[in-house]
Amino acid sequence: MGTVTMEKLVSLCKRRGFVYQSSEIYGGLSGAWDYGPLGVELKNRVRDFWWKEMTQLHDNIVGLDAAIMMHPKVWEASGHVANFTDPMVDCKKCNSRFRADHIDLEAACPVCGNKGTFTEPREFNLMFSTNLGPVKDDSSIVYLRPETAQGIFVNFKNVLQTSRVKIPFGIAQVGKAFRNEVTTKNFIFRTLEFEQMEMQFFVRPGEDESWFEYWKNSRIAYYDRLGIRKDKLRFHQHGPDELAHYAKDAFDIEFEFPMGWQELEGIHSRTDFDLGRHQEFAGKDMQYLDPADNTRYLPYVIETSAGLTRSVLMVLSDAYEEQELSEGDTRVVMHFHPSVAPVMVAVFPLVKKDGIADLAKEIEQGLREDFTTFYDQSGAIGRRYRRMDEIGTPFCITVDYQSKEDQSVTLRFRDSMEQVRVPITELGERIRTEIRTYERV
Ligand code: GAP
């Protein structure tokens, strides 16, 4: 059946409460989106999946949550004030603005169709700024962070002195970042405000190349565990003219979004660039005293930098499927990994009477402690399954007359639509096992 398009995703997200346009009642704000009841659950779970992978499953990575606004010198030291720019052109006829590297400057304006109307490309700094306190002048400027990474670098010594980490070790952080993007399009792919999941891994100089390989392999394996189809992911190595100002080497993990292959995550070899610059600009010693041989050095850094909100778009795109079940009978199904599905278990009474609904409610309440549940007693059972398929609920439980007699229920699996009979007392354990052993078909 039909392939996934951005229009279909935007429509499903709006219809089912995943993502809404920001300030929609005022006509919307371009490049900003709000996460609805199901969207916030999905986003939080993708974040938690990453956090668990990085911190709980590694014994040498610790967490951090730094402030969004930082001392303005941070951004001078990091190079963002001087270098964090995109080339921009305006159409002199219709005033539309474009990234100069995203359009053909010899061709007609994509909005008004006029030729030869573009201004000369100008460098445009992507950082949003505001003023601290009542006086609006250059001395009161602060920036909204364009990456979370700098919060990690400036806290390197704090973490070292207050936790028992030794090199090699990492610091992980999830949080908002802001960029005044020249063009925002493709739904939540590129937005003004977004969330990043970043990890800086500090290593001994000379060991950076093997750790770079380690993190490339580890990050690809992570997407497999998240249930993302392997053939939708690939690496792209940055050429010399693509490398960011801080990077010695960089690979993007790209995903095949509905609009084509695009960057999902960056794995960057940042050398000692950032720690060295902070040492210089702040005048503080950022070196590490290695207890292994009593040498002092500035560690090298391997960074893994994934967009959380962009990962949500990946998860939505990868999960979407339209299936024709039989002549004229179709369903839209979202194949979310059960660990990130906004609703994990739906419970339905087959009928509302004869104590069936009471038993179903009781089962649903018993499962709440461990799973996100949803109770639904309205409409035909087939329609209730379809509604759950469309929001990606992996398990549906139906309570019927037999349930009252033998304390068993029907457990239905979203992907295969297979149904099995399970004793009520074994439901929790069965669902936990299914989540642990889930594989995308
Ligand atoms: N600290 C390194 C860094 O920020 P980046 O390649 O500029 O590197 C990392 O960004 C990731 O952040 C990207 O791979 C993408 O997933 C996400 N990202 C960047 N800009 C974004 C935007 N405007 N909207 C949504 N996600 C964005």
Q: Do residues 266 and 373 both lie within one domain?
A: no
Distance of CA 397 from the midpoint of ligand 1 (Å): 40
Domain that holds residue 265: 6-70+147-316
pLDDT at 360 over 70: yes
User: In CATH, what number is assigned to the domain containing residue 373?
Assistant: 3.40.50.800
Non-local (6+) Cβ contacts of 291 within 8 A are 166
Residue identifier of the C-alpha nearest atom 16 of ligand 1: 307
Q: How confident is the model at residue 441 (pLDDT cuts 50, 70, 90)?
A: confident
SS3 of residue 329 by DSSP: strand
| Residue 308 main-chain phi, psi, to 5 deg | -75, -50
pLDDT at 2 over 80: no
Distance of CA 83 from the midpoint of ligand 1 (Å): 16
| Residue 326 covered by a domain | no
Residue identifier of the C-alpha nearest atom 21 of ligand 1: 190
Rounded to 5 degrees, what angle do the CA atoms 333, 337, 343 make?
A: 70
Residue 136's pLDDT is what? Answer: 84
Residue 280's pLDDT is what? Answer: 98
Residue identifier of the C-alpha nearest atom 5 of ligand 1: 266
| Rounded Cα gap, residues 273 and 275, in angstroms | 6
| Residue 336 covered by a domain | no
| Rounded Cα gap, residues 127 and 288, in angstroms | 31
| Residue 200 covered by a domain | yes
Q: Do residues 389 and 292 both lie within one domain?
A: no
Q: Could you tell me which of 299, 298, 316, 300 has the C-alpha nearest to residue 308?
A: 316
pLDDT at 72 over 80: yes
Q: Do residues 287 and 418 both lie within one domain?
A: no
Q: Do residues 272 and 187 both lie within one domain?
A: yes
Q: Do residues 368 and 277 both lie within one domain?
A: no
| Residue 108 covered by a domain | no
| pTM score | 0.94
The tally of domains found in the chain comes to 2
Q: How confident is the model at residue 327 (pLDDT cuts 50, 70, 90)?
A: confident
Non-local (6+) Cβ contacts of 313 within 8 A are 9, 187, 188, 189, 257
The closest-lying atom of ligand 1 relative to the alpha carbon of residue 190 is 24
Residue 286's pLDDT is what? Answer: 98
Higher pLDDT, residue 343 or 135 = 343
Lowest mean pLDDT among 134-138, 145-149, 220-224: 134-138
- Mean pLDDT across 368-394: 96
Q: Do residues 308 and 367 both lie within one domain?
A: no
**Which of 316, 335, 358 is the C-terminal boundary of a domain?**
316
Distance of CA 394 from the midpoint of ligand 1 (Å): 30
Q: Do residues 268 and 383 both lie within one domain?
A: no
| Rounded Cα gap, residues 425 and 363, in angstroms | 9
Q: Do residues 300 and 247 both lie within one domain?
A: yes
Q: Do residues 247 and 306 both lie within one domain?
A: yes
| Residue 294 covered by a domain | yes
pLDDT at 108 over 90: yes
| Residue 87 covered by a domain | no
| Residue 20 main-chain phi, psi, to 5 deg | -120, 155
Q: How confident is the model at residue 139 (pLDDT cuts 50, 70, 90)?
A: confident
pLDDT at 326 over 90: no
Q: How confident is the model at residue 306 (pLDDT cuts 50, 70, 90)?
A: very high
Q: Could you tell me which of 52, 79, 218, 53 has the C-alpha nearest to residue 146?
A: 79
Q: Do residues 299 and 410 both lie within one domain?
A: no
| Residue 203 covered by a domain | yes
Distance of CA 245 from the midpoint of ligand 1 (Å): 15
Reported as a single tens digit per residue, the pLDDT across 256-289 is: 999 999 999 999 999 999 999 999 999 999 999 9
Residue 1's pLDDT is what? Answer: 62
Residue 203's pLDDT is what? Answer: 98
- Mean pLDDT across 250-254: 98
Distance of CA 424 from the midpoint of ligand 1 (Å): 45
The closest-lying atom of ligand 1 relative to the alpha carbon of residue 189 is 25
Reported as a single tens digit per residue, the pLDDT across 206-238 is: 999 999 999 999 999 999 999 999 999 999 999
The closest-lying atom of ligand 1 relative to the alpha carbon of residue 191 is 24
pLDDT at 249 over 80: yes
Q: Do residues 155 and 250 both lie within one domain?
A: yes
- Mean pLDDT across 361-368: 97
**Which of 316, 333, 353 is the C-terminal boundary of a domain?**
316
- Mean pLDDT across 190-198: 98
Q: Do residues 274 and 367 both lie within one domain?
A: no
pLDDT at 184 over 90: no
Question: Cβ < 6 Å from ligand 1: which residues?
Answer: 147, 149, 179, 181, 190-191, 194, 196, 198, 263-266, 303, 305-307, 309-310
Average of per-residue pLDDT values in the chain: 95
| Residue 91 covered by a domain | no
Residue identifier of the C-alpha nearest atom 22 of ligand 1: 190
Mutation test of ligand 1: which of 78, 184, 194 has the most ligand atoms closer than 8 Å to its C-beta? 194
